[in-house]
Amino acid sequence: MNKTRRITTSRWWNNKNLWFLLIFLFLIVFVRFSKSLIYRDIYYFLSKPFWPGQFQRELLLESYDKELNTKLKQLEKDNLRLRSLLSLKKTTDDLKIDSSVISRNTGSWWRKIILNKGSRNGVTIGDAVVGPGGLIGLIDDVSIFTSSVKLLTSSESQVGAWVQRINIHGLIVGVGNDSPKMIFYSKDIDIKVGDLILSSPASTLLPPNIPIGIIESINQDSRPTTTANVQLLANPQAIDWVQILKTKI
């Protein structure tokens, strides 16, 4: 009987070390194919008690009202005309999703923040994200409960913009620091330090005329086009509440 018992316990399914190895390999494969999004959803639940409170949300909503003062009536008329002629994207109040920042990585080269709203809330890749002051970036990754924002300061960020004073369009490009650059499409242009920069009405990626920043300095020696350093109006390092702008044609 003793021999029979030793043979039975030596079978592979009774080997605890083998089971631990199989479970470990399964976890590695699961993490690889889920792109670690499951960990972000777990972080969603663990960090929920520490999310910003209602008071900060009210401050954010008040800041949006102040932003409206930067828009001129003539620009509003031009935007409506352009959107109707070119069928560009537009937003309504029904397509705004309030969200809080639950994690941030604003000091690295890639520069991203994590929000507590995901695909179950209707968030999709490419949605614009605004904070107190103006645009801060675009949604670039979505899980069920969370989404990540590629900030305008990221080295991978490029968005269309324009200087409203002279109606000149350009491209806001992140360079991995706190001041992205704006590249203009022509050399001889009448831009000035302090000019307000808005999202372009001709953009197909985000809603038009969202405040972005002001021109901080101008590089007149750049070739073949003019470039300028941009001071952003919204500071991702100090933002706790944001709004995600859904877009539709």
What are the backbone dihedrals phi and psi of residue 216, each rounded to the nearest 5 degrees, phi first? -95, -40
The reported pLDDT for the residue numbered 121 is: 93
**Cα R_g (the chain), whole angstroms:** 24
3-state secondary structure of 43: helix
Q: Structural domains in the chain?
A: 13-48 (no CATH), 158-232 (2.40.10.350)
The C-alpha atoms of residue 47 and residue 174 are separated, in whole angstroms, by 29
Read off the tokens for 77.
Answer: 């008329």
- DSSP H helix total and E strand total for the chain: 5, 12
Degrees, nearest 5: CA angle 95-248-172 = 90
Kindly give the pairing relationship between strand 196-199 and strand 211-219. Answer: antiparallel
Torsion angle of the four alpha carbons 36, 38, 44, 47, in this order, in degrees rounded to the nearest 10:
-70
| 10-residue stretch averages of pLDDT, the chain, 249 residues long | 50 69 73 63 71 61 62 58 49 77 73 91 94 92 94 92 90 90 86 92 84 90 84 86 79
Question: 0.85 exceeded by the pTM?
Answer: no
The reported pLDDT for the residue numbered 249 is: 47
The reported pLDDT for the residue numbered 112 is: 87
The reported pLDDT for the residue numbered 47 is: 72
Q: Which residues contact 115 (CB under 8 A, 6 or more apart)?
A: 99, 100, 101, 102, 123, 129, 146, 147, 148, 149, 242, 244
CB burial of residue 155 (10 Å; 0-12, 13-18, 19+): middle
**Which run of H or of E encompasses 216?**
strand 211-219
